[in-house]
Structure 1
Amino acid sequence: MKIADIKIGKVCIPLKKTFKTALRQVDFAEDIIIKVIADNGEIGFGNAPPTAVITGDSQDSIIAAIRDTIGPRVIGMEVDNLEQIMTAIDTSMLHNSSAKAAMDIAVYDLFGKLHDMPLYKLFGGYRNVITTDLTISVNAPEEMVRDALEAVAAGYTELKLKVGTDAALDIKRVQAIREAVGSDIKLRLDANQGWAPKEAVRAIRKFEALGLDIELIEQPVKAHDFNGLKYVTDRVATDIMADESAFGPYEVFQLLAMGACDLLNIKLMKAGGLHQAVKIAGMAETLNVPCMMGCMLESKVGISAAASLAAGKKIISRADLDAAVLLAEDPVVGGVSFAKNQLILPEAPGLGITDVLGWQEIRS
């Protein structure tokens, strides 16, 4: 089976509610979805959501990178030669991690289909069901309480609260939510780089003094501030997770060498795809650093790929794979299925995806 053609398209899916973080506000998920077509007609699906404030990748840059640089390098390659294809993708150009991830995911999908194996088994097959949290956007305390209670009523036992816009108000937000949902619900906080290091330490110590029982704090400081991240990690009892700082394998190696965080958030769009994400998981496992599998605002194509890796690897003990649940529509046929707060991996080969409804091809 050889790669014969690559088609680039997109879907635009409205969100159920406006998504708000310390970095951005979004009402629609715009996802570039590619089809890597083999010479026998088999299709591998991959995706790349443009998330410029995190990866630096825009819709236009993703399209151009795949069409003009990455795609031409893999045409004609044997799908079975996975390492050669991944080397071609990884060395095709600097940066452009989302475009690389789209191609990587599609090739892995084809590889799974070629060998009649679901991807979660290819990555280790540790489990076939994973539990995800649900993200609560940053808003006024009363609105966040309402959203949190709705999530709990829907069956979610783990909530990820977006904070980072105002440390004093963040304390009120979290305190109100903890009082509303009770002590049995796990609360994770994501500051999205919103605090300065000393500000973060003060806020986290306040959470601790109030007995709010926060499971972890994600990315309290700027992505480039590794020393600031370590400063926070060393001065609080609550576990600190690196997200935007933990971009790819090289950055993760630096973080782990410094002891700058307690946990890692792996995202395919940061890492450049599954091939690089496996390297991150391997480093984390060597040092016994637990990982979360995260996502961007993207379709079920990317969620199915991320869930496949999370299900395969024991070290990935947490999941923040709620993006498809936040969408008002699901155009993806096949892939993971949802049962309250659980993602169930398909037993069909590859990602288990057969079609993407409403996919609009982008022609050069």
Structure 2
Amino acid sequence: MKIQHIEIYQAAIPLKKAFKTALRTVTVAETIVVKVTCDNGIVGWGEAPPTHVITGDTLASIHYALKEIFKPALIGMPILDRELLFEKTHTILVGNTSAKAAIDMALYDCISQQANMSLTQFLGGYEDSIETDYTVSVNSPEEMAVDAEGYVSDGFSVLKVKVGKDTIEKDMERIRAIQDRVGSAITIRLDANQGWNPKEAVRAIQQMEDLGLNIELIEQPVKAYDLKGLKYVTDNTQIPIMADESVFSARDAREVLEMGAADMINIKLMKAGGIHEACKIAKLADIYGVTCMVGSMIESKIGITAAAHFAASQPNINYFDFDAPLMLAGDLIKGGITYKESMITFGSGKGLGIEGINEEYLL
């Protein structure tokens, strides 16, 4: 069983509403799609959205890496020599984690189909359904409160609230407005996307604690490189702190874990370069007794299906942030994961369960 063809497409799907964070605003989900075909007819799918403010990857860089580096290097390789295949994928090019993730997930799709298992079963088979949160983009307090109320009406009981765009005082207004609107029974997660400095983060989080706000966790309050600042926030607050942009690789995770710089880790395939490295991060965190979230960029259901299969396979992954396909005005694929309000199920298909692509979104 060898890799016979690698095809590369560009796709774009409009969002229903602009997605805003402290780092960027997105109105159209652009992505590079990879189709890997094996000589026995098995087809695997992967994707890589450009998120240059986090990964440094652009549409052009992803396309070049896939077409000029990975495609000629991997065609003809035996797909069941897994460690050799993934070693080559991860060492043939420095960085370029999004392109690596697209190839990686397509290869895992092929391998698990050959094993006659879903990808979740192939990786461990821990959960058969998971619950996602829904993200509230950073806007005015009133608009965010209205959006939050709408998501709760749609069946979501966990909201991920984006903050960190301007002043921390404004962020406090946003949080209060949302909690006043949706009530204390709804769980709120905050994501500052590196938007605070350590001292103001501690001051604000302690205020949240004193006010009794129902905050479950806070993602990446400080700059990705500032591990000492991240540890300062973690050590001086009670609400759990989650490292996101600070952790791309297992080496990054080891440094965060050894320092005790965060209480949790957010794993994303586009940061890790795919499932192979993501499994290492999850296993390492488990050794330290640390729970993880698996999240995503603004991706189509290809990438989210791969991430959800991985997340459901590991016992210490307890938080799931897979709302991106629900933000899109259309579905790039046929098959994959299924949503029922906040619940995600996997179906009985093998691999990722992707049946094909909707060509209307290809460019």
Q: What TM-score range do you get, normalising by the shorter chain?
A: over 0.9
Is the partner of 2:109 in helix, strand or coil?
Answer: helix
Q: What are the residue-to-residue correspondences of 1:326-337 with 2, within 5 Å?
A: 326-337=327-338
- Distance in structure 2 (CA, Å) of the matches to 1:240 and 1:102: 29
- Distance in structure 2 (CA, Å) of the matches to 1:347 and 1:310: 17
Quote the offset at 1:361 in angstroms.
7.1
Structure 1 segments unaligned to the other structure (5+ residues): none
Q: Is the 8 A contact 2:332 2:361 kept in 1?
A: no
Q: Is the 8 A contact 2:11 2:362 kept in 1?
A: no
Aligned length: 362
Q: Partner amino acid for 2:8?
A: I
- Distance in structure 2 (CA, Å) of the matches to 1:206 and 1:73: 54
Q: Is the 8 A contact 1:216 1:240 kept in 2?
A: yes
Q: 1:284 to 1:49 in 2, by over 3 A?
A: same
Is the partner of 1:18 in helix, strand or coil?
Answer: strand
Q: Is the 8 A contact 1:9 1:359 kept in 2?
A: no
- Distance in structure 1 (CA, Å) of the matches to 2:316 and 2:124: 11
| Residue of structure 2 in register with 1:10 after alignment | 10
Quote the offset at 1:346 in angstroms.
2.5
User: Does the alignment pair 1:287 with 2:288?
Assistant: yes
Further displaced range: 73-82 or 134-143: 73-82
- Distance in structure 1 (CA, Å) of the matches to 2:81 and 2:144: 48
Q: Partner amino acid for 2:259?
A: M
Q: Is the 8 A contact 2:12 2:361 kept in 1?
A: no
- Distance in structure 2 (CA, Å) of the matches to 1:361 and 1:151: 29
Q: Partner amino acid for 2:53?
A: V
Q: What are the residue-to-residue correspondences of 1:124-143 with 2, within 5 Å?
A: 124-143=124-143
Quote the offset at 1:212 in angstroms.
0.6
Quote the offset at 1:82 in angstroms.
1.3
| Residue of structure 2 in register with 1:114 after alignment | 114
Quote the offset at 1:184 in angstroms.
1.0
| Residue of structure 1 in register with 2:100 after alignment | 100
Q: 1:304 to 1:344 in 2, by over 3 A?
A: same
| Residue of structure 2 in register with 1:300 after alignment | 301
Q: Is the 8 A contact 2:123 2:310 kept in 1?
A: yes
Identity within the alignment, %: 50
- Distance in structure 1 (CA, Å) of the matches to 2:15 and 2:361: 19
- Distance in structure 1 (CA, Å) of the matches to 2:79 and 2:360: 24
- Distance in structure 2 (CA, Å) of the matches to 1:235 and 1:207: 13
Pairwise CA RMSD of aligned residues? Answer: 1.1
Q: 1:343 to 1:360 in 2, by over 3 A?
A: closer
Cα deviation digits, residues 126-173 of structure 1 (max 9, x gap): 111000000000000000000000010011010000000220000011
Q: Is the 8 A contact 1:196 1:220 kept in 2?
A: yes
- Distance in structure 2 (CA, Å) of the matches to 1:208 and 1:359: 48
| Residue of structure 2 in register with 1:206 after alignment | 207
Q: Is the 8 A contact 1:9 1:360 kept in 2?
A: no
| Residue of structure 2 in register with 1:241 after alignment | 242
Cα deviation digits, residues 234-257 of structure 1 (max 9, x gap): 011110000000111111110001
Cα deviation digits, residues 164-210 of structure 1 (max 9, x gap): 02200000110111111111111000000000111111111111111
Q: Is the 8 A contact 1:8 1:361 kept in 2?
A: no
Is the partner of 2:170 in helix, strand or coil?
Answer: helix
Query: 4+ runs of 1 displaced by more than 4 Å?
Result: 359-362
| Residue of structure 2 in register with 1:340 after alignment | 341
| Residue of structure 1 in register with 2:88 after alignment | 88
- Distance in structure 1 (CA, Å) of the matches to 2:123 and 2:229: 34
| Residue of structure 2 in register with 1:315 after alignment | 316
Quote the offset at 1:58 in angstroms.
0.3
Cα deviation digits, residues 210-235 of structure 1 (max 9, x gap): 11121001000001111110010001
Q: Is the 8 A contact 1:34 1:46 kept in 2?
A: yes
Q: Is the 8 A contact 1:189 1:217 kept in 2?
A: yes
Is the partner of 1:34 in helix, strand or coil?
Answer: strand
| Residue of structure 2 in register with 1:66 after alignment | 66
Q: Partner amino acid for 1:272?
A: G
TM, length-normalised to structure 2: 0.98
Q: What are the residue-to-residue correspondences of 1:12-31 with 2, within 5 Å?
A: 12-31=12-31
- Distance in structure 1 (CA, Å) of the matches to 2:30 and 2:99: 14
Quote the offset at 1:330 in angstroms.
0.8
Q: Is the 8 A contact 1:20 1:26 kept in 2?
A: yes
Structure 2 segments unaligned to the other structure (5+ residues): none
Q: Is the 8 A contact 1:16 1:328 kept in 2?
A: yes
User: Does the alignment pair 1:219 with 2:220?
Assistant: yes
Q: Partner amino acid for 1:45?
A: W
TM, length-normalised to structure 1: 0.98
- Distance in structure 2 (CA, Å) of the matches to 1:130 and 1:149: 22
| Residue of structure 1 in register with 2:53 after alignment | 53
Is the partner of 1:90 in helix, strand or coil?
Answer: helix
